[in-house]
Amino acid sequence: MSHEQLAQLGDHGELGYKHMDHSKDLNGKKPAYPDLAVDFCGIKMKNPIVAASGTFGFGLEYADYLDLSNEVGAISVKGLTPQARNGNEGTRIAETPSGLLNCIGLENPGAEAFVEHILPELRKYDVPILANISAADVDGYAFMAKTLTVEGVAGFEVNISCPNVKNGGMAFGVCAESAAAVCKIVRQNTDLSVIMKLSPNVTDIVEIARAVKEAGADGLSMINTLLGMAIDVKTRRPILGNLYGGLSGPAVKPVALRLVHQVAQAIDLPIMGMGGIMTGTDAVEFMLAGADIVSVGTASMVDPGAIGQIAREMHEYCEDTGIAHISDLVGALQPY
Amino acid sequence: MSGYVEMARVLRNEQIGSDVWIMDLYAPKQAAEAKVGQFCNVRVTGGTAPLLRRPISYAGFDSNEGTITLLYRVVGSGTELMTKLKEGDELDCLGPLGSQFELTDNMLLVGGGVGIAPMLCIASKLNEVEDTTRYTTEEEEVEIQPMASKKATVVLGFRNESETFWADLFKDCPVEVYVTTDDGSVGTKGFPTAIMGELITSERGEAQRVLTPYLTGAGKSELMPQNARLEATTQAIEEALAAAPEGVSVEAVAETADAAAAEGCNIGFTSVLTCGPTPMMKGVAKVAEEYTVSCQVSLEERMGCGTGGCLGCGCHGRGGKRYKVCKEVPVFPAEEVFF
């Protein structure tokens, strides 16, 4: 609903919601506009920003910098695997122009340790938790779905696109059949929302998206990182211990926007869009391209309070442009 | 609290060596909570290139003045941008981050390269008053005492004499600074490990110290360790006797006090604290172990977030443990991370 339409309704006086003082209650009712709250695949979020897996620890690391219960839409926790993993050896991070390469290699304490030790701490906050899961084989994904379908987990972000592990990971996500097989087994083992995280390192992402939709996915998360490389000319060696790594940050944003747009045009599934979002307007671009919600990753590494700042900037954008509800932006891209 | 994002105001930004700069910043929240060995993560630009923050150890902080001091070497585009900052400019600093050095009574501080910064931070604290005596009240003028119970000796490793400006930074700290250079142009030829043995044994009174310090900072106690020990035990006995109840054996009280004081006072270095290139720190940790002195190391690693969220800076610990360098380290007992 546009600002003009709202103003005509007269609900909030002659000037409409845009000119109201949002800090004050309205006849005892909290002012509702602009409204950032969303429902994504049945998961209710106070704003459309998910803390991206792998950049936000388990969320607790950021509790000093953000009000997790009110400033963050949802948290996708560090990628979990059936067993604990130490991750990759050697240098795991390389800075590139407006970007970041990483090859952490899914360091995590394992699904069961997460449920036992970390989830109880996280449940103290009023924020939906997405379990980001990976496994080396289809049975492993089944185990993950079963183990993590517990009180306190709101849904699954199924990682079939990690570029940094030798077995599983991206291998599942680059082929439509295996992507669908993983989606199907997770679907069979949980009644929670299943969001498939897609890899950009494919020839036709729409084909993969279609395959996981048919296999029962509730939503899509895109994009994972772009496979990349960095070289040190002094030593003439690769900078990353794992040779290649996943590229994130502002450098990938144009690619991510294009992929989100392509999939949104072709597939009718909710999309969590991500890739280099640093500001509120970056997030708005993703929503215009067709993302229902967004995810912020690398920005949190630069500024631990980035998600709160981006949410405020989205709110401001809505106020300035007369958007009553953030979801009004989804797919609202105008023709050139 | 793990840290604050502060827009710190630049008070001074000066070049002190060929590629080394010193910066003072007004950052009161960090200055109030910082501990020696911790660092701040500096965002050198509001733009996206360079994207990540730069982790830089505190070379000093003053909670009364609300200031922090950073020593940095220009190694790339990020630190290059830092050199352009002028007095009054703002710099986005996130800190204090990481773990701290545990200070002991008599420390051997071994630094190399920009790893000298946290050693300078420790040395500068030896002149500082304890928290409890920091403030004076109207009724009572509290005497401001230096942290008399703690002292330190410094060893710095350089490539050659062009780097002695690092040592000069210690001139106002109550420490003796010994220097080694790769080419022998100043101090002893070799690495810091070459002179650690002599310093450790002579500090214990087991051998004569032939080495002469490159610099003796202001306020350094003139007392030799042995004299300090004698004085400490004598004082302890006197106090114990004065406080002893009637009828207790004088000899027994004196003996107990003497033993306790001897154990507590300086009979050599009680710890080695080091920061610098990893090969140097490994060498330092090895010498410390040979002489059974506990050693704390401050690790450096490429970092992503600095807050424990990205796992970009993991390191191996003893027994297959994994540590996040930014959050759980950078200061660690040597035996836990070098093995």
Q: A201: domain CATH number?
A: 3.20.20.70
CB of A163 within 8 Å of any CB in chain B? no
Asked whether residue A94 is assigned to any structural domain, the reply reads no
**B33 shares its domain with B76:** yes
Average pLDDT in the A175-198 region? 97
CB contact under 8 A, A249 and B312: no
3-class secondary structure for chain A? CCHHHHHHHCCCCCCCHHHCCCCCCECCECCCCCECCEEECCEEECCCEEECCCCCCCCHHHCCCCCHHHHCCEEECCCECCCCECCCCCCCEEEECCEEEECCCCCECCHHHHHHHHHHHHCCCCCCEEEEECCCCHHHHHHHHHHHCCCCCCEEEEECCCCCCCCCCHHHHCCHHHHHHHHHHHHHCCCCEEEEECCCCCCCHHHHHHHHHHCCCCEEEECCCEEEECEECCCCEECCCCCEEEEECHHHHHHHHHHHHHHHHHCCCCEEEECCCCCHHHHHHHHHHCCCEEEECHHHHHCCCHHHHHHHHHHHHHHHHCCCEHHHHCCCCCCC
- The DSSP symbol for B185 reads S
Position B137 confidence tier, pLDDT thresholds 50, 70, 90:
very low
Position B232 confidence tier, pLDDT thresholds 50, 70, 90:
low
pLDDT for B27? 97
**For residue A95, which residues of chain B lie inside 8 Å, CB to CB?**
50-52
pLDDT for A166? 65
**B201 shares its domain with B275:** yes
* Residue B108 clears pLDDT 80, i.e. is over it: yes
Share of chain A above pLDDT 70, in %: 89
pLDDT for B11? 98
What is the greatest pairwise CA distance in chain A?
68
Average pLDDT in the A185-200 region? 97
**For residue B43, which residues of chain A lie inside 8 Å, CB to CB?**
302-303
**B162 shares its domain with B32:** no
Position B246 confidence tier, pLDDT thresholds 50, 70, 90:
confident
Q: For strand B322-324 and strand B314-316, is the pairing parallel, antiparallel, or unpaired?
A: antiparallel
**B288 shares its domain with B159:** yes
Identify the three-state secondary structure at position B102: coil
Average pLDDT in the B116-131 region? 82
Asked whether residue B337 is assigned to any structural domain, the reply reads no
Averaged pLDDT score across all residues of chain B: 85
Asked whether residue B246 is assigned to any structural domain, the reply reads no
* Residue from A64, A86, A92 to probe the interface with B (highest B Cβ count within 10 Å): A92
In A, minimum Cα distance to B53 occurs at A302
pLDDT for A165? 72
Averaged pLDDT score across all residues of chain A: 91
The CA distance from A99 to A297, in Å, is 12
Please, are residues A216 and A192 in contact by the beta-carbon 8 Å criterion?
Answer: no
Structural domain including A44 reads 34-87+106-224+252-329
Average pLDDT in the B176-199 region? 96
CB of A201 within 8 Å of any CB in chain B? no
* Residue A206 clears pLDDT 90, i.e. is over it: yes
Average pLDDT in the B77-81 region? 95
CB of A302 within 8 Å of any CB in chain B? yes
A162 labelled catalytic: yes
Q: Which of A56, A97, A107 sits opposite B309 (nearest CB)?
A: A56
Average pLDDT in the B190-194 region? 95
* Residue B149 clears pLDDT 70, i.e. is over it: no
* Residue B264 clears pLDDT 90, i.e. is over it: no
Q: Which is more confidently placed, A48 or B331?
A: A48
The CATH code of the domain that includes B120 is 3.40.50.80
Average pLDDT in the A305-315 region? 97
**B29 shares its domain with B46:** yes
The CA distance from A220 to A240, in Å, is 29
* Residue B135 clears pLDDT 70, i.e. is over it: no
Position B105 confidence tier, pLDDT thresholds 50, 70, 90:
confident
**For residue A302, which residues of chain B lie inside 8 Å, CB to CB?**
43, 51-53, 305
Average pLDDT in the A100-125 region? 96
Average pLDDT in the A129-145 region? 96
Structural domain including B115 reads 106-130+145-221+268-298
Position A230 confidence tier, pLDDT thresholds 50, 70, 90:
very high
Domain count, chain A: 1
* Residue from A61, A81, A122, A279 to probe the interface with B (highest B Cβ count within 10 Å): A61
CB of A65 within 8 Å of any CB in chain B? yes
Q: Which helix (H) or strand (E) holds B118?
A: helix B116-125
Average pLDDT in the A47-60 region? 97
Which residues face B157 on adjacent strands?
B112, B180
Q: What is the DSSP string of B222-235?
A: ---HHHHHHHHHHH
CB contact under 8 A, B308 and A61: yes
pLDDT for B122? 94
Q: Which is more confidently placed, B210 or B223?
A: B210
Catalytic residue chosen out of the listed positions A162, A175, A183, A318: A162
* Residue B327 clears pLDDT 90, i.e. is over it: no
pLDDT for A11? 42
